[in-house]
């Protein structure tokens, strides 16, 4: 018996794993190519891909579009047939322009979170690129499905349920965390599966539900498949790989992080995020960090009195500055060494199959 493969936009991968998009410049073409070669779905993050390019500060939209095009064509040169998506946060300015641009590119899906992308299907009209979304509660899934159904008669290619152990921006408020008002990932999966049933029936389709946040190994993956998820999305585990696009300094921060070094930080996006404790997080305990420039990145950023600039600090860290913002998931402390993507995928599949009592393990 084998794991059920995952089909997105008419293409199928061998293993039901999506490599999660990581910005800024953490998951680009190098990681994507390795993931696609290993039989899983790859996602690049659209967040400020042009950060290192000339002209970025003057015209971030056009510079990012050029950089995205380059990354996508490099991936397609090596993997013309694999499943490739782009993660586009709804909280960014010019979401409409990025989505319309990405709808013309050689990718399979746009997956959007950090807010509710109620308008995403608008930009996908007439395109072969499919839309998908990330939510952190069944309630949010219901709002999204109802809205896409009413406004566009459109259903997502898949839904990512992101739990409280994820990396990057988290879909739970600071108050939710403080009050312990947090639903665990298994429960989000179970309730979301219920919510989607009438929509699946109406459209005569099945919508894959993907579990994300704290999936470190095959045992975690098996737990999610057992409660009904159709696959998992994994991000943090792929950072300390030879193929990941992050700087060596970023990877070292992940490898060296102990459990107590993984902390929550407020983001100027108005959402909590999770990061490795370092100069930035320690400084923020006492005062804000001076902002050097603004590229008007987030709709939700107040620009004045913010703790730090997220583009500046994430961009710097991906470029080798370990004093910048080092986004991570909650299980980075379990990562002890650099590895190759293919080894990690094989190990996760082996452990998962074993837990699900399936034969083989290759």
Residue from the set 107, 328, 348, 352 that interacts with ligand FMN by CB under 6 A: 328
Whole-angstrom distance, CA of residue 107 vs CA of residue 152:
21
**Least CB distance from residue 362 to ligand FMN, whole Å?**
23
Query: 93 is written with which tokens?
Result: 């300015």
Positive or negative, the CA dihedral 119, 136, 269, 56 is negative
Backbone angles phi, psi at 134, to 5 degrees: -115, 130
Asked if 212 touches ligand FMN (CB under 6 A), the answer is: yes
Asked if 117 touches ligand FMN (CB under 6 A), the answer is: no
Q: CB-wise, 203 or 279, nearer to ligand FMN? A: 279
Q: CB-wise, 96 or 205, nearer to ligand FMN? A: 96
Asked if 215 touches ligand FMN (CB under 6 A), the answer is: yes
Residue from the set 16, 20, 60, 85 that interacts with ligand FMN by CB under 6 A: 20
Query: 29 is written with which tokens?
Result: 């073409």
Whole-angstrom distance, CA of residue 173 vs CA of residue 171:
7
Q: CB-wise, 39 or 360, nearer to ligand FMN? A: 39
Q: How far is CA 133 from CA 109, 121, 165, 309, 327, in A?
A: 10, 11, 18, 26, 21
Residues 39-98 that bind ligand FMN (CB under 6 A): 45, 47, 87, 89
Count of residues near ligand FMN by CB under 6 A: 30
Asked if 241 touches ligand FMN (CB under 6 A), the answer is: no
Residue from the set 22, 157, 244, 280 that interacts with ligand FMN by CB under 6 A: 22
Stretch that binds ligand FMN, among 143-151, 173-181, 207-215, 282-290 (CB under 6 A): 207-215
Residues 126-165 that bind ligand FMN (CB under 6 A): 134, 162, 165
**Least CB distance from residue 202 to ligand FMN, whole Å?**
28
Q: CB-wise, 45 or 63, nearer to ligand FMN? A: 45
**Least CB distance from residue 252 to ligand FMN, whole Å?**
14
Whole-angstrom distance, CA of residue 298 vs CA of residue 270:
10
Asked if 270 touches ligand FMN (CB under 6 A), the answer is: no
Asked if 213 touches ligand FMN (CB under 6 A), the answer is: yes
**Least CB distance from residue 262 to ligand FMN, whole Å?**
10
Nearest-CA neighbor of 28 among 47, 13, 12?
47
Q: CB-wise, 89 or 107, nearer to ligand FMN? A: 89
Whole-angstrom distance, CA of residue 261 vs CA of residue 282:
11
Residues 162-181 that bind ligand FMN (CB under 6 A): 162, 165-168
Stretch that binds ligand FMN, among 29-37, 233-241, 284-292, 351-359 (CB under 6 A): 233-241
Cα 35 versus chain centre, distance: 14
Residues engaged in binding ligand FMN (CB under 6 A): 20-23, 26, 45, 47, 87, 89, 113-114, 134, 162, 165-168, 212-215, 233-237, 327-329, 331
């Amino acid at each position: 018996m084998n794991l059920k493969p995952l089909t997105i936009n008419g293409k199928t991968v061998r293993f039901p794993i999506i490599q999660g998009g990581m910005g800024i410049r953490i998951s680009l073409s190098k990681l994507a190519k390795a993931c696609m070669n290993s039989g899983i779905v790859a996602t690049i993050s659209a967040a400020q891909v042009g950060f290192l390019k000339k002209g970025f500060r003057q015209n971030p939209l056009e510079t990012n579009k050029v950089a995205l095009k380059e990354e996508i064509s490099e991936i397609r040169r090596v993997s013309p047939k694999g499943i490739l998506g782009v993660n586009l946060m709804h909280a960014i300015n010019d979401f409409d322009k990025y989505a319309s641009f990405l709808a013309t590119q050689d990718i399979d899906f746009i997956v959007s979170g950090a807010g509710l992308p109620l308008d995403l299907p608008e930009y996908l009209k007439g395109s072969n690129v499919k839309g998908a979304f990330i939510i952190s509660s069944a309630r949010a899934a219901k709002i999204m499905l109802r809205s896409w159904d009413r406004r566009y008669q459109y259903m997502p290619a898949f839904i990512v349920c992101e739990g409280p152990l994820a990396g990057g921006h988290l879909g739970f408020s600071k108050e939710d965390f403080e009050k312990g008002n947090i639903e665990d990932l298994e429960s989000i999966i179970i309730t979301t599966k219920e919510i989607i049933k009438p929509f699946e029936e109406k459209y005569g389709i099945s919508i894959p539900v993907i579990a994300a946040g704290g999936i470190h190994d095959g045992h975690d993956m098996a737990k999610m498949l057992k409660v009904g998820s159709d696959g998992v999305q994994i991000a943090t585990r792929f950072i300390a790989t030879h193929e990941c696009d992050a700087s060596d300094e970023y990877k070292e921060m992940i490898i060296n992080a102990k459990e107590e070094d993984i902390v929550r930080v407020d983001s100027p996006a108005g959402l909590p995020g999770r990061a490795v404790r370092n100069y930035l997080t320690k400084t923020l305990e006492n005062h804000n960090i001076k902002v050097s420039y603004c590229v008007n990145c987030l709709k939700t950023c107040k620009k004045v009195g913010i703790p730090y600039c997220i583009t500046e600090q994430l961009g710097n860290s991906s470029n080798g500055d370990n004093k910048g913002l080092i986004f991570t998931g909650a299980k980075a402390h379990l990562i002890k060494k650099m590895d190759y993507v293919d080894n990690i995928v094989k190990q996760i599949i082996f452990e998962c199959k074993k837990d699900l009592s399936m034969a083989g393990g290759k």
